[in-house]
Every structure is written in C-alpha cells, then in structure tokens.
A and B are shown apart, each in its own frame.
Chain A
C-alpha cells in the first residue's frame, strides 16, 4: 500500500469502532450479571435472567408472534415483490417510470405515519384482526427490500436464457420457476434475510398495530422496561442479537457479507 492513513485519522476511526461496539459488549455483560439491577461490568455470572425470559409468559407469546409475523410477512412480501421486481426488469422499456418509483414509497413515508394510518383505516376502518394487520403492515414495510434486492440480481440475469427456454417450448410459468428463479436464488435469500431482520426489530409500525393480547417482542421489551429495570431486558436483547448473528452467519455462508455493501 502506497497510500498511508494519517495516524490521527486512524486513531479517530478506532474511537468510532469503540463507540460502535462497546455498547453491545455492555449489554452482553449486563445480561449475565448476578444482580437485580442493570450493571456493568457484571458482578458474578448467572444465567437466571435468561431463564427468567422463558418464565415470563408475555415474552414467550410475543417472541412467537414476532417470529410468525416476520416469517409470514417476509414470505408475503416476497410473493408479491419477486413478480414485481421481475416485471420491472423484464419489461423495463414498456412500463411507465412511476411504477418502479412506487416501490420506493414505503421508505419515503415515515414508518410511524404509515403505522398510524394503517391502524386508522385498516385495523379500525375495516375491522381486520390484529394479527392480520400486523402481517400486512410488516409485509408492506419490507416490500422495498424484496423488490430492490431481488431486482439487483435480476438486473444481472441474462433474459435471453429465458427466451431460449420458451422458444424450446417450455411454458412461461415453468420457465420462471426452473430457469429464472434458480438464477436469482442468492438475491431472494438476501432479500428474505434483510426483510426478516427488519421485521423482527420493527417498532414504529408495530406500536400502532399491536392490540390487547397480541404484541411483538420489541414492543413487549419497551413495555417491560417501563416497569422493571432488571437484567432480563439485557438478556432478551442478547437473545435477539444471537438471532441476528445466526442470520448473518447464514448470509456469510451463502453469499458472503460483501453482498450487504452493494
């Protein structure tokens, strides 16, 4: 390397990384502390706060709801997002330009405004059950990820392969499933993972869509924090972090993490 980084800049970057990573270390430490209040460095090591999570019913049920909403919401967003990404890339010339812009909208509209509006018109206006509203809200929230990430891998796909299959007599749907889909598999998996992480951590949309009896894990954590300040919250956070690390390990194994920076 002929270009050297100025030592002051390097030291600054080191401080930034310390700033970025130490809070996570602190949460992990606090989660194992054998005290009834949150503290760091941990005093004594215990797993009882982790056991405590599973003893509190609210955490169990909301974790289950979160997983269900994240899973089905992501699946739903892919189900409608992949065809949309396909159409945008395949018929780029024929389609009006606003059509691809429309999928940027869920990012542009503030999440909290979206959650509030959805609650007003769908949950209360149409009287949909809470779980369905949550599912719909999350699916829409993560739709841009599905469309854009899948779209990115479709942009690299050579559509003449598809034409070849069709000209050889393969029906369109079968062509899509057996020729196009395997080629964009990496993009679909990446979209699934990004969308899943977004959904499972969402607060702003869920906060309006949860109701009596049904809530998601982040909302439950917020509610718990208002009443207790014990290491349970830290251990729930650690569990959520483990889920994320696990998901990241899957990304690393299938695609390599550089994918995320593209």
Chain B
C-alpha cells in the first residue's frame, strides 16, 4: 500500500534519523542529553512546559466534564445547538484563537480597559507573556475538544444504570461518584491524553502569548533549529518530546483499558 510506504519513508524514517542523530555525537552517546539536563535554563523550559500542560489538562478536564455533563442532559435540539457552539471555535485556527487572547489580555486590551473603567485597578496590568496567559489560551484551545470527547462518553452511559441507582436509593451525588464517574473514566483519560500531548507540544500559542520570556519546548525547538541553527540541540528537544508524549500515551491507554468497567 502506498500509504504505508509514505508514512514509513516520510514520517518514521525522518523522525528516527532526528532521534538517532542525538546519539551519534563525537562527544559521547548521551552527550547532548547531559548538556540538556545540566543546563538550568533548559530544565526550566522543560518543567515550565510540563507545568503548563498539566495545569491546562486539569482545568480542561474539569470545565469540559461539567459542560459535557450539562450538554448530555439536554433534550435533542438544544443539545445539537450546544454541540455546534462548542465545535465552532475548534474549526478556526490556532493562530486566530490565540490572537483573540492578545486583544483581550494586552496592555491596552479589553480586560484591562474593563478593570480600569470599573475602578478595580488603576494601572493596566501586564498579563501577556506570563505563564497564566499561555494557560488561559491553551484552555480555550482545548476545552472544545474535551467537551466533544466527553459528550460522546457520557451519552454512551446507559440511562437505566442511573435510574437503577436512583431507584435503589442513591442520592444524585452518590450516583455521580459511584456510577457516572467510574464509567466516564476511560473517556476522561482519553481526553486528558489528547489535551496533555497537544499542549505539551504546541507551538503557536506559546509563541504568541508566551514570547521569549515563557519559552516552552515547542518554541524552544523552533528557536534552536531556525534561529541559532543548533540542530543537535533541536534534535535533543525533539527526542525528549517524542519520548514523553509516546510514554504518556502508552501508559495512559494501558490504564484506561484496565479501568474500563464495561469491558470485563
């Protein structure tokens, strides 16, 4: 099949070459990694990226789950309108959606203008180029994806189970924790993996809202490769990203399979 060949030749081989190149350094097999992890700045970039990705995932999970829960309870027509509204931002590009937050969070932005006119603050706050601004924009980016994933999962939970739980005397909160949450866990894991890997490897959002100050792995990779032309350094970053994302995906999908109560 030509498609298989295309994936192997154009995806697997180039990525493998990139990773292999980091082990073929004259200074020693692990030299680029020693350099990476012994530099405080580079470690800081890695930790910042992990932190942003984890916080983004946690917020997106909570917000997405509650919203998906409400959507799943809605009658047919309201449900499809809400799903369309949730999908809509998903279909506009990353650049456009990150750009919106530049207008909102900027020094002369809308949020500052609103806060000043209501008298809450006197001086405009500088909210851009902080970790917070990157996280807000990333949550904005990924919540629709989470909602979409979780609505499907929550709809798949048979209603009889919830009714049965209620008729056996469980209160709504108890039903939620004993029935709905365990059944939704595999879906929550899938959503979390999507958001985590997506935010961990993102480029445009940290570029626009984090800038040089809040360098993340994606922007760092780009800077190494295209600004300083340090290809070994860039390849090392690439290898760390691949290992981390694949690791998270493999471990989490294994956990999801084990936790799935429907597939006993």
Contact = CB atoms under 8 A, between A and B. Distances in A.
Interface SS majority for chain A: helix
A10 B102 CA distance: 29
A23 B97 contact: yes
B165 to A, nearest CB: 13
A5 B73 CA distance: 7
Contacts of A261: 83, 87, 148, 151-152
A240 B92 contact: yes
A164 interface: no
Interface stretch (B3-11, B29-37, B38-46, B254-262): B3-11
B190 interface: no
B61 interface: no
Interface in A20-76: 20-21, 23-24, 26-27, 30, 37-40
B88 interface: yes
A80 B221 contact: no
Contacts of B73: 1, 3-5
Contact of B246 (A108, A136, A237): A108
B103 A40 contact: yes
A61 B8 CA distance: 32
A26 B99 CA distance: 10
Nearest to B194: A107
Interface in A93-126: 99, 102-103, 105-106, 108-114, 116-122
A204 B100 contact: no
Contacts, number: 230
A161 interface: no
Given A19-B140, A122-B10, A12 B67 contact: yes
Contact of B7 (A26, A37, A143): A143
Contact of A240 (B96, B108, B151): B96
B222 A112 contact: yes
B95 A208 contact: no
Given A20-B86, A26-B100, A30-B103, A118 B93 contact: no
Interface string B213-228: 0000010011001100
How many chain A residues sit at the interface, stated as a range, is 35 or more
A27 B200 CA distance: 26
B125 interface: no
Interface in A188-247: 197, 200-201, 203-204, 207-208, 218, 221-222, 225, 233-234, 237, 240-241, 244, 247
Interface of B: 1-4, 6-8, 10-15, 17-18, 63, 66-67, 69-71, 73-75, 80, 82-89, 91-97, 99-104, 106, 108, 110, 140, 143-144, 148, 151-152, 197, 200-204, 207-208, 218, 221-222, 225-226, 231, 234-235, 238, 241-242, 245-246, 249
Given A20-B144, A80-B3, 14 more contacts: A17-B85, A38-B102, A80-B6, A81-B3, A83-B1, A84-B2, A110-B197, A111-B203, A114-B14, A114-B15, A119-B225, A218-B93, A218-B204, A260-B87
Interface of A: 1, 3-5, 9-10, 12-13, 16-17, 19-21, 23-24, 26-27, 30, 37-40, 80-81, 83-84, 87, 99, 102-103, 105-106, 108-114, 116-122, 136, 139-140, 143, 147, 197, 200-201, 203-204, 207-208, 218, 221-222, 225, 233-234, 237, 240-241, 244, 247-248, 257-258, 260-262
